[in-house]
Amino acid sequence: GAVVSQHPSWVICKSGTSVKIECRSLDFQATTMFWYRQFPKQSLMLMATSNEGSKATYEQGVEKDKFLINHASLTLSTLTVTSAHPEDSSFYICSAPWIGNYEQYFGPGTRLTVT
């Protein structure tokens, strides 16, 4: 089946720094990818839709200047958390739809801890 990877799986950064998270579709191309955030013991909340070749679209309440998304190629989307704060600590998950069966394939997630 289709596989989506994320890197890194866990990152710790200091407050005020930026951190980049990569999402890759390993064996299929994805013109669209999605980024979610999951706080402990809570559900996944859609943050933004990453579009290859165009700007990302952000959900209401998500700061586009803080969460920079770049869909560099048909297999790679990156989420950069800029000027990170402790409240940005969360589990970030990406997904990519495979047109073949119209399923979303989820990455394993990246745990971000901001100290």
Question: Residue from 11, 20, 22, 49 that binds another protein (CB under 8 A)?
Answer: 49
Q: Which residues between 75 and 94 bind another protein (CB under 8 A)?
A: 93
Give the SS3 label for residue 6. strand
Question: Residue from 46, 63, 73, 83 that binds another protein (CB under 8 A)?
Answer: 46
**Per CB under 8 A, 63 contacts another protein:** no
Q: How far is the CB of 90 from another protein (least distance, A)?
A: 15
Residues sharing a CB contact under 8 Å with residue 70, sequence separation 6 or more, in sequence order:
50, 56, 77, 78, 80
CB atoms within 10 A of CB 11: 17
Nearer to another protein, 16 or 108 (CB): 108
Nearer to another protein, 25 or 95 (CB): 95
**Per CB under 8 A, 62 contacts another protein:** no
E runs forming strands in 1-115? 4-7, 10-13, 19-25, 32-38, 44-51, 57-58, 67-73, 76-81, 90-98, 103-106, 110-114
Q: Which residue type does 6 have?
A: Q
Q: What residue ranges bind another protein (CB under 8 A)?
A: 32, 34, 36, 41-46, 49, 93, 95, 97, 102-104, 106-109
